[in-house]
Amino acid sequence: MLSPTSESASTVTFLSVSALFVHQIFRKFETFSIPFHAFLLLVPPAIVSHTVRPTNAGRLTVSELAFCYTTYLGVLALSIVFYRLSPFHPLHQYPGPRWCRTSMLWHIIRTVDGKQTEYLRYLHDTYGDVVRIGPNHLSVRDLSLINPILGPSGIPRAATYKGVTLSDSTVPLIGIQDATEHARRRRPWNRGLAPSALKDYDHIMSHRVHQLVDVLGQQEGAVVLGKWISYFAYMHDGDEGNIWAMVDKGAQIAFHLGQVPWLGIYVGHIPGAGGPLNLLLEHGRALTKTRVARGSSTRDLFYYLNNEDIPEESPPPERHLLDDGVLAMIAGSDTSSSAITSVFHCLLAHPAAYAVLQDEVDRFYPRGEDVCDAMHHREMHYLTAVINETLRLFPPVPTSNPRQVPHTAPAPVVLGPRSLVLPPGTLVYVPPYVLHRDGRNFARPHQQKPHQALSKQLPDSLVLLKGPEATSPVTQEPPGKCTFADAAPDVFWPERWLVAAGHMPLGRALSLSQAQFELAHAEGAFVPFSHGPMNCAGKALALRQMRVVVCALLQQFHFRASTATTQSHRNLWQSFAMPQITTPEARCDPVL
Ligand code: HEM
């Protein structure tokens, strides 16, 4: 230990001053560069310990060194915590719990106990529409701010993926912050995932759907549906090497650490910790390389990503293609399988809605009819309603991809009608789960003014079909009057979408007092695929996949919830955020 003299006092002073100075550097240059971190964390105490002590003091002992590092890192940590709690922090005026202000590490706990989305919702219910959920992090639940944040003139993506590259030297599309560069890299995706291109993928989808139907048909007893649906979404002709299980493991780590990106960068370098995820990346790259080497025999997504549809344009660099290949696999597989699994979760929990949908499928796609032919999809209003309602209650990306005001911004950004002030460096979340379950957006508020009063389109006296309890097709007479609770934001009630689209007349009156209500249905708050120019590129494909798979399975099987509904397989991202969704374990009896 340094002797308790003026020497040690001056060492402590120097260490403290350098820690405070380094804190300012960290504030100014948020970076995920490990050498940068290492330099700022390790070098100053080493320099101070050598320079401050007298030249005749002999060799530095281990305990002296430990004292220097502990003092330096302790002061740095205290400085960070005090600053984040202090009125000098630019986000000080935003409400939120104190512990959240100090670090995003608290959110890891919420992902581990699987209650992240419910916690976010609780924070909004407690603190209001704009909550400070982290040191530099705001969560926004205000419909009027969705477009200003995510729209064309919104703020750029967060640097979450900075330093995380799928290939050796690029940032994947989903990590590009610069709007112009993003728009350039996004163009081939838009061409390849445009509704006009999708019909060329039908044969691929048809092949996979038949695989899924065959494999389910071969299962004995109760089946963990989510597991097979995940395989459907991911599988490229089999799952040699049990890749999906590896991905499952790797994704768990990645999801928890995704709350604190800099920590994720470190863990990624620990042998074993990033292993399963790295395996997925390598697998994706290998598939992409094989596909690029093979060339195009059909117009698949790579036909567009490789600019083969525009011969006069040169192909993109191989590393972009590798990134794109991996992104297509990751972005498109777990999300879609989560969504399809959730549909079955909802149907099995609501037999009446299941019956109505089964009736619709039987009408449009009786056995023998090709479910991959999308010609009837537009007319299948109840199917659309079920899918929307499922995505509303269980959005596969429930907490959103954050946006961030650049650190280099010359002044705070002021957004929207309520003049939300976002200082440089602020990260903003617009969580779909919270927006979708906000009673002002999707329910029947008594007092509050809904964002978009549906009653304008509806007759004065209202009767709503009892969605979940309905036993007959939606076109028939309503089986009973609904209660207020039926339309509550947490209730699975596909009929709200039919009413909103004008497909379901609201016919007869409830009692006079109940007829006064206005049904809130703010579709602008429905953002499972996000919003704006950086929204999900695969939205049309995802919806088509969902429709085809749901029709195929309902055409071929009767599903019954097994008595032992378990969590033996859960979809990746969703399960951490939303524990209430269990992958249904079901019996699928073939339709004879
Ligand atoms: C139900 C299924 C799906 C859901 C709910 C979903 C949702 C999302 C969300 C929320 C984002 C982030 C957007 C943002 O940051 O604003 C995203 C990005 C993306 N998704 Fe999806 N997705 C689904 C399926 C798919 C499929 C099937 C593909 C096809 C390959 C796909 C491709 C992409 C791509 C390429 C991006 C990055 C877009 C960009 O950065 O410009 N997604 N998705």
- Look at residue 492 and tell me if it is in a domain: no
pLDDT greater than 50 at residue 87: yes
Are 399 and 410 in contact, with CB atoms under 8 Å apart? no
Considering 85, 116, 137, which residue would you say is the last residue of a domain?
85
- Structural domain contains residue 377: no
Q: Tell me whether residue 396 is in a domain.
A: no
For residue 173, is it within any domain? Answer: yes
Tell whether ligand 1 has an atom less than 6 A from the beta carbon of residue 171.
Answer: no
In angstroms, what is the span from residue 2 Cα to ligand 1's centroid? 56
How do residues 475-516 score in pLDDT, each as one tens digit?
A: 222 334 444 455 578 888 898 898 888 787 543 323 334 444
Q: What is the CA radius of gyration of the chain?
A: 27
Same domain membership, residue 329 and residue 203: yes
Other C-beta atoms lying within 10 Å of the C-beta of residue 477: 10
CATH number at residue 255: 1.10.630.10
Q: Do residue 188 and residue 296 come from a single domain?
A: yes
Give me the numbers of helices (H) and strands (E) for the chain, helices first please: 22, 11
Please check whether residue 566 lies inside any domain of the structure: yes
The two tokens of residue 369 are 């009819």
Whether residue 287 is found in the same domain as residue 176: yes
Within this chain, do residues 205 and 315 fall inside the same structural domain, yes or no? yes
Q: pLDDT confidence of 452, banded at 50, 70, 90? A: very low
What is the mean pLDDT of the segment spanning 31-58? 78
The answer on whether 588 is annotated among ligand-binding residues is no
**What does the angle CA 316 – CA 247 – CA 299 come to, to the nearest 5 degrees?**
35
Tally of domains in the chain: 2
Atom 35 in ligand 1: residue holding the nearest Cα: 537
- Mean pLDDT of the 362-389 span: 93
Q: If you take atom 26 of ligand 1, which residue's CA is the nearest one? A: 332
Rounded distance, CA 464 to CA 482, Å? 6
Q: Quick one: 223 and 322 in the same domain?
A: yes
DSSP 2-55: --TTHHHHHHHHHHHHHHHHHHHHHHHS----HHHHHHHHHHHHHHHHHHHS-T
CA of 204 to the centre of ligand 1 (A): 19
Question: From the CA of 325, how far away is ligand 1's center (Å)?
Answer: 14
Cβ 245 vs Cβ 209: under 8 Å = no
Question: Is 320 within the bounds of a domain?
Answer: yes
Q: Could you tell which of 335, 530, 545, 549 is best to mutate to test the pocket of ligand 1, judged by most ligand atoms within 8 Å of the CB? A: 335
Q: What is the structure's pLDDT at 266?
A: 65
57-66, 99-108, 345-354, 383-392: range with highest mean pLDDT: 383-392
Q: In this predicted complex, what is the ipTM?
A: 0.99
**Highest-pLDDT range among 22-31, 141-150, 310-319, 323-332:** 141-150
Q: Tell me how far apart the alpha carbons of residues 487 and 362 are, in angstroms, rounded to a whole number.
A: 27
- Name which of 248, 259, 258, 260 is nearest 572 in CA terms: 248
Q: What is the mean pLDDT of residues 400-415?
A: 89
Ligand 1 pocket test target in 291, 428, 536, 544 with most atoms within 8 Å of CB:
536
Q: Return the pLDDT at 495.
A: 85
Strands 442-443 and 130-134: unpaired
Same domain, 67 and 178: no
Higher-confidence position of 111 and 184: 184
CB of 219 within 8 A of CB of 588?
yes
For 287, the token pair is: 């598939």
Rounded to the nearest angstrom, the distance between the alpha carbon of 555 and the centre of ligand 1 is 28
| Secondary structure (H, E, C), 376-444 | HHHHCHHHHHHHHHHHHHCCCCCCCCCEECCCCCCCCEEECCCCEEECCCCEEECCHHHHHCCCCCEEC
Q: Binning pLDDT at 50, 70 and 90, where does residue 274 land?
A: low
- Band of residue 301 on the pLDDT scale cut at 50, 70, 90: confident
Query: Are 283 and 184 contained in the same domain?
Result: yes
1: Cα separation from own chain's centroid: 50
* Average pLDDT value for residue range 281-285: 75
- 215 and 337 inside one domain: yes
55 and 175 share one domain? no
- Which atom in ligand 1 lies closest to the alpha carbon of residue 233? 27
**Measured in whole angstroms, how far is the alpha carbon of residue 494 from the centre of its chain?**
22
Say if ligand 1 is within 6 A of residue 339 CB.
Answer: yes
334 within domain boundaries? yes
Query: Which tokens sit at 116?
Result: 């992240």
Domain boundary among 85, 109, 136: 85
What is the pLDDT, as a whole number, of residue 251?
A: 59
CA 155 to ligand 1 centroid distance, Å: 18
Boundaries of domain holding 190: 166-352+531-590
DSSP secondary-structure letter at 157? Answer: B
Q: What are phi and psi of 260, to 5 degrees?
A: -130, 85
Instruction: List beta partners, residue 134.
Output: 137
For the stretch 287-296, contacts whose Cβ atoms lie closer than 8 Å and that sit 24 or more positions apart, written own/partner, are 287/236, 287/325, 287/329, 288/321, 288/322, 288/324, 288/325, 288/326, 289/322, 291/325, 292/318, 292/321
- Span from the CA of 489 to the centroid of ligand 1 (angstroms): 24
pLDDT in tens, 575-585: 334 433 444 55
Q: Is residue 494 part of a domain?
A: no
Single residue among 48, 65, 85 that ends a domain in this structure? 85
- Does the C-beta of 396 come closer than 6 Å to ligand 1? yes
> Please, which pLDDT band fits residue 458 given cuts at 50, 70 and 90?
very low
